[in-house]
Chains A and B, each alone.
Chain A
Amino acid sequence: MRQAIHILRKDVRYLWIETTVALIAAGLLAFTGVRQAYALTRPEITHGIATAAMLLPFLLPIAWWTLIVRAVYAETLTGDRQFWPTRPYAWRSLLAAKWLLILLFVNMPLFLAQTAIVLSAGFPLSPQLAGLLWTQVLLTVAFDLPVAAVAALTTGVVQFLLCVLIVFASSMALSMGSMRITMAFAGGGWRGMEWIETYYSLLLIAIVGAAILIWQYRTRRTVPARVLAGLALLILALGAPFSWSTAFAIQSHFSRLHVDEASLHAGLFTNFQWATRAIVNRDGSVSLHIPLELSGVPGDLEPRTEGLTVRIEGAGGAIWDKNEAPWAEVSTNGRLIALQTTVDGAFYQKVKDQPVSLRGYLYLTLYGNQRVTRVPFDDHTQPVPGLGLCSASGGGNAPYFLSCNSTFRPPSELVSVAFGEGPNEGTPYSRPQVHSYSPLPAELSLNPVNPFVQWSTSKKVLDAATVVSVEPLAHVRAAIAIDGLRLGEHEVRIK
């Protein structure tokens, strides 16, 4: 450890400009973040602060990147002309020195800046510690490790940038090339479960990044390390090696409420049977729209569809079983759920006059634990489920505002906000549009505070905004069983 500290002191002296810039950037983040959090209740944010806040997501990573790369290059790992490999450096001490530098000038400043921002936004510290610490883990895995690993494989900034460029171009090409694979597995349908794919990538980066760094600092044999990096890149570019339904199964493990799947069923919605369609497209394929009736959902829970898989079987043994995009096979309009899939024209012609059976699963998220919170227009901050810390203001000639701050990730609750008896009253759950079902306490962002503002221009005298929230409690599958459906009877031809 003594040697690590000795090397660290040398690096701090050597990289005084880079460390100073990183500290100033982190200080700027704290300053703008605190000002923005303060402006929640008093929208007095200046143009300068807004500009700085906008630039920081670029400036801060560049400052960190420069610091990490230069720190690694201070004892270059590639090549055979550097002075240090023939000196009594212990590789563990050298690696520890570099990580201490990164912790001191990248991670720690961000931790302190985020702590300041969270406290200034009025959040108590102890419930935020998990988010603060998890952000550190994410920063280390998603930023520190890959940057340090690439620096450990290259000899200079030019080679580093060239390497990043090649990595970017080849991963784009690979991703394009493997688009069909990616689409088959996931496509754009991960939505709330995207965190599973993200953490798969982060896990791979963490393992490979750590392996490269340890290998390089221990042996300085760059060729095998570069091969490993290339392989990891290839695997990353190919995307998650598990299907959407596997991701859903993983997500189900994090359900907070146990719901017996055996009690959930989806069948033909007989009241809406008239809405069944078999639309024959110009290219011969047939788009099926079949209304589904979901039963067995406990009365206090509200289902939201996530995806659907289906297998269609004709009486003669013809089978349609292609579920490449489960998230696109279902549509919801109010309470009406509809299976919508496109089948091959040849298959349709074969089975259209036979009774067919449909088997599959409807993937659902069940929301519940509804909570109603009144937020008076008195400028006082109060906790609001689903929105974080909120305050409401306005009245007189000014519009009514509901301003809220949540930390580390937008809440996964569905929320509807109503201003008195205005046109917003009874608004269906609207927020968040993009949400995550991740059980982990944070996503990687510089400013840990997520603002949310809603307003009303109502001329009426209102005393409070009302927030209704429900939270995702369970991720479950409902078995689909439809028998004896004759698709030909619902045929519609596009002319």
Chain B
Amino acid sequence: MTSPIHTRGLVKRYRGTVALDSFDLDVPEGSIYGLVGPNGAGKTTCIKVLMNLARATSGRGEVLGADTRRLGPAQFAQIGYVSENQKLPDWMTVEYFMNYLRPFYPTWDETLAADLIRQFDLPRSRELRHLSHGMRMKAAMASALAYRPKLIVLDEPFTGLDPLVRDELIEGLLPSAENTTVFISSHDLGEIESFASHIGFLDHGRLQFSEDMGSLAGRFREIEVTLPVDKAAPKPDQCPPAWLNAQQSASVFRFVDSRFEEERTAAQLRGLFGEAAQVAVNPMPLRAIFVTLAKASRKAA
């Protein structure tokens, strides 16, 4: 299976600031890949490089099998790109915008376009400049889905949107995602978690991890150990490196295990706390994982 997005050693510097650093990525075909990370992590830069809106300082990237620096009409006819800060031709009405774009795409589906306009409740005759931010995003999304692209790239599509519009966008996106690959950057983890199949965590321009949601959810656990009276909490250097954000309050020792495996983790706990400790293991939502990683990353920095 080929990877619709593939990068190796991608570096992007802006006047000495490293925005992307040795960025290696493989987005599986057919996946909904969420690229998450704190503000300034390099998500938008990554997408700009992938879409040939910015040039990588070094390294290489491929999108739909083409070098990102050589992306042309053939590739863009199969890519649907929507960004929260994209400037649309404000003077066009929704209908004219869709009609104008139609001849650019051999696969444009007029019925789907009409359905999307209806589904997004877009006013056909209103100029884009007179639409709210949410409506403009919906217009952009409709124009990016109407030709059934092989790859949909969304850069922070939910930023500044109210929950209703967000749901509408996702509802419009998901049916289209059945036969396509979606690459979406966001810091709206709650939304990403609800539909992403894969996740990548970007911090300080580096991809900290990239894996499918099942494995990610499986390997992160919040562990709470109630210590016996005679047992002191371990010092940080005694803890395995995969234990993040360790903290103690009274007799309770808490941490996040980022490489949770039931038997191995149990053995590690026994080794440090003995048999007498009470252990509670809780699965973590994506938001909690993200916050943990961000805190750990800042601490390390």
* B87, A89: Cβ atoms closer than 8 Å: no
- Residues of chain A touching chain B, judged by Cβ–Cβ distance below 8 Å, are 2-3, 6, 10, 14, 74, 76, 80-83, 85-90, 221
Which residues of the partner chain A approach B48 to less than 8 Å between Cβ atoms?
Answer: 80
* B100, A10: Cβ atoms closer than 8 Å: yes
* A83, B86: Cβ atoms closer than 8 Å: yes
Please give the distance in Å from A225's CB to the nearest CB on chain B: 14
* B55, A81: Cβ atoms closer than 8 Å: no
User: With contacts A74-B89, A88-B74 known, what are 7 further pairs, Cβ within 8 A?
Assistant: A3-B104, A14-B89, A82-B86, A83-B87, A86-B51, A87-B76, A88-B104
**Residue from A3, A14, A88, A221 within 8 A of B76 (CB atoms):** A88
Specify the chain A residue showing the minimal Cβ separation from B153: A86
The answer to whether B122 has its CB under 8 Å from any CB of chain A is no
Please give the distance in Å from A214's CB to the nearest CB on chain B: 16
* B73, A89: Cβ atoms closer than 8 Å: yes
Whether A81 contacts B52 in the complex (CB less than 8 A), given A3-B104, A88-B104, comes out as no
Across chains A and B, which 3 residue pairs bring their CB atoms closest together, nearest first?
A88-B73, A80-B53, A86-B81
Complexed CA–CA distance, A390 and B77 (Å): 63
* A86, B85: Cβ atoms closer than 8 Å: no
Specify the chain A residue showing the minimal Cβ separation from B73: A88
Please give the distance in Å from B87's CB to the nearest CB on chain A: 5
The answer to whether B195 has its CB under 8 Å from any CB of chain A is no
The answer to whether B105 has its CB under 8 Å from any CB of chain A is yes
Complexed CA–CA distance, A14 and B92 (Å): 8
Complexed CA–CA distance, A85 and B55 (Å): 13
Whether A80 contacts B87 in the complex (CB less than 8 A), given A6-B103, A88-B74, A88-B105, comes out as no
Please give the distance in Å from B157's CB to the nearest CB on chain A: 14
Complexed CA–CA distance, A23 and B101 (Å): 28
The answer to whether B209 has its CB under 8 Å from any CB of chain A is no
Complexed CA–CA distance, A52 and B42 (Å): 57
Which residues of the partner chain A approach B105 to less than 8 Å between Cβ atoms?
Answer: 88
The answer to whether B54 has its CB under 8 Å from any CB of chain A is yes
* A81, B73: Cβ atoms closer than 8 Å: no
Complexed CA–CA distance, A221 and B54 (Å): 9
Whether A80 contacts B89 in the complex (CB less than 8 A), given A88-B76, A88-B104, A89-B104, comes out as no
Which residues of the partner chain A approach B53 to less than 8 Å between Cβ atoms?
Answer: 80, 85-86
Specify the chain B residue showing the minimal Cβ separation from A7: B100
A-contact 0/1 string along B48-62, CB 8 Å cutoff: 100111110000000
Which residues of the partner chain B approach A81 to less than 8 Å between Cβ atoms?
Answer: 83, 85-87
The answer to whether B272 has its CB under 8 Å from any CB of chain A is no
Which residues of the partner chain B approach A2 to less than 8 Å between Cβ atoms?
Answer: 103
Write 28 A-B pairs (CB below 8 A) sorted by A numbering. Answer: A2-B103, A3-B103, A3-B104, A6-B103, A10-B100, A14-B91, A74-B89, A80-B54, A81-B83, A81-B86, A82-B86, A82-B87, A83-B87, A83-B88, A83-B140, A85-B52, A86-B51, A86-B76, A86-B79, A86-B81, A87-B104, A88-B76, A88-B77, A88-B104, A88-B105, A89-B73, A89-B76, A221-B55
